[in-house]
C-alpha cells in the first residue's frame, strides 16, 4: 500500500480543490519551478499541475519540453543529462532576471514543499518519447514513496496511455486521470480501462453533455488550460471539477 493514511480517491471521495495552477503560476514565473509554486500559492492557489519526466539516471524532475533549450540554460534532450548535471542548469533566467539561478526541481523537492504547506498536487507524467513505460512506473513509485502517509495523494495524469498503464501497474492505488487534447469516441472506455478517476480534457472539447456523461459514469472532469474568466465560469457552471489555469492573477481560486 503506497499511502497508508490516505483514503482512496474516488469521484464520491474527491479531495481536490476546483482551481489548479498550471505549471506552478502559469506564465508569471518560470514554469515548473519552486518559485512558480510559491507565487501561485501567494495568489491563494492550493493545487498545482506540473510536468514530470526522467533524467538520464531515471530520477523524476520537473520539465515540460522533451528538450532543455526553451526553459533552461542547457540544450538537447532532458534524458541526456543525469540529475547532477541537471542541477547545474539555470531554469529561471530565460523568464526574467529576477528568477535567474532558479534550479530544475526534483519531484522530491516539490513533494516536500506542497506537503509542508498543505497544498495538493497533479503530477502530469510527460515522458520523453520512447520512455513512456519507464517514466510512468518510476514516477508512480517515487510519488508513492514521497507522499507516503500524506492525507491526500497526488493525482497522476498523462496523455500517454502507456505511461498511465505503467503507473497503474506499479502503484494501483494512486489516482489517475486520462489527458486528452481531442476527445476520442471511446474516451470513456479508454479511461475506464486504465482505472482512471477522472477525464482531463482541453477545454475546447468539453461541453455540458460530455461533463454530464463523465459524471454519470463515475468520473470527475478536469480541464486545461482555461485562462479566460468567462470561459472558466461557463465550465464550472457545467459542473467541471478541476480548472487548470495560467491566469492565477485573474481567476480567483475558491473551493
Ligand atoms: O496537464 C494539463 C496540461 O498541462 C497539459 O498540457 O502541454 O501544458 O502540459 P501541457
Ligand atoms: Mg502539463
**Å from CA of 177 to ligand 1 middle:** 12
Nearest-atom index, ligand 1, CA of 122: 1
Give residues with Cβ within 8 angstroms of 145, minimum separation 6.
2
**Grid cell locating 115:** 506537503
Query: Under DSSP, is residue 252 helix (H, G, I), strand (E, B) or coil?
Result: coil
Task: State if residue 244 touches ligand 1 by the CB under 6 angstroms criterion.
Answer: yes
Which residue of the set 19, 64, 95, 215 is catalytic? Answer: 64
Choice from 124, 128, 181, 199 to test ligand 1 binding pocket (greatest atom count within 8 A of CB): 124
Task: State if residue 224 touches ligand 1 by the CB under 6 angstroms criterion.
Answer: yes
- CA distance linking residue 24 with residue 114, whole number of Å: 11
Q: Taking the mean position of all CA atoms in its chain, how far away is CA 166? A: 17
Whole-model pTM over 0.75: yes
Q: What architecture is domain 175-255?
A: Alpha-Beta Barrel (3.20)
Nearest alpha carbon, ligand 1 atom 5:
224
CATH of domain 30-174: 3.20.20.190
Residue 224 and residue 49 in contact, taking contact as beta carbons nearer than 8 Å: yes
The tens-digit pLDDT sequence of the chain (255 residues) is 344 456 799 999 999 999 999 999 999 999 999 999 999 999 999 999 999 999 999 999 999 999 999 999 999 999 999 999 999 999 999 999 999 999 999 999 999 999 999 999 999 999 999 999 999 999 999 999 999 999 999 999 999 999 999 999 999 999 999 999 999 999 999 999 999 999 999 999 999 999 999 999 999 999 999 999 999 999 999 999 999 999 999 999 985
Amino acid at each position: 500500500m503506497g499511502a497508508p493514511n490516505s483514503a482512496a480517491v474516488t469521484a464520491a471521495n474527491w479531495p481536490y480543490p476546483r482551481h489548479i495552477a498550471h505549471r506552478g503560476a502559469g506564465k508569471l514565473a518560470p514554469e515548473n519551478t519552486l518559485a512558480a509554486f510559491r507565487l501561485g500559492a501567494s495568489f491563494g492557489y492550493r493545487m498545482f499541475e506540473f510536468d514530470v519526466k526522467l533524467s538520464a539516471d531515471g530520477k523524476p524532475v520537473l520539465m515540460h519540453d522533451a528538450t532543455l533549450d526553451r526553459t533552461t540554460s542547457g540544450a538537447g534532450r532532458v534524458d541526456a543529462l543525469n540529475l547532477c548535471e541537471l542541477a547545474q542548469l539555470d531554469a529561471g533566467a530565460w523568464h526574467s532576471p529576477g528568477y535567474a539561478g532558479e534550479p530544475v526541481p526534483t519531484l522530491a523537492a516539490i513533494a516536500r514543499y506542497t506537503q509542508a504547506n498543505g497544498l495538493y498536487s497533479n503530477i502530469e507524467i510527460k515522458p520523453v518519447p520512447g520512455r513512456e513505460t519507464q517514466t510512468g512506473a518510476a514516477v508512480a513509485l517515487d510519488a508513492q514513496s514521497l507522499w507516503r502517509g500524506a492525507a491526500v495523494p497526488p493525482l497522476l495524469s498523462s496523455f500517454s496511455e502507456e505511461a498511465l498503464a505503467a503507473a497503474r501497474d506499479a502503484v494501483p492505488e494512486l489516482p489517475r486521470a486520462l489527458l486528452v487534447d481531442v476527445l476520442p469516441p471511446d474516451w470513456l472506455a479508454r479511461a475506464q480501462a486504465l482505472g482512471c478517476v477522472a477525464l482531463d480534457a482541453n477545454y475546447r472539447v468539453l461541453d455540458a453533455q460530455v461533463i454530464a456523461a463523465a459524471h454519470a459514469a463515475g468520473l470527475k472532469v478536469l480541464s486545461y488550460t482555461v485562462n479566460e474568466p468567462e470561459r472558466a465560469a461557463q465550465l464550472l457552471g457545467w459542473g467541471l471539477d478541476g480548472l487548470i489555469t495560467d491566469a492565477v492573477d485573474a481567476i480567483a481560486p475558491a473551493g
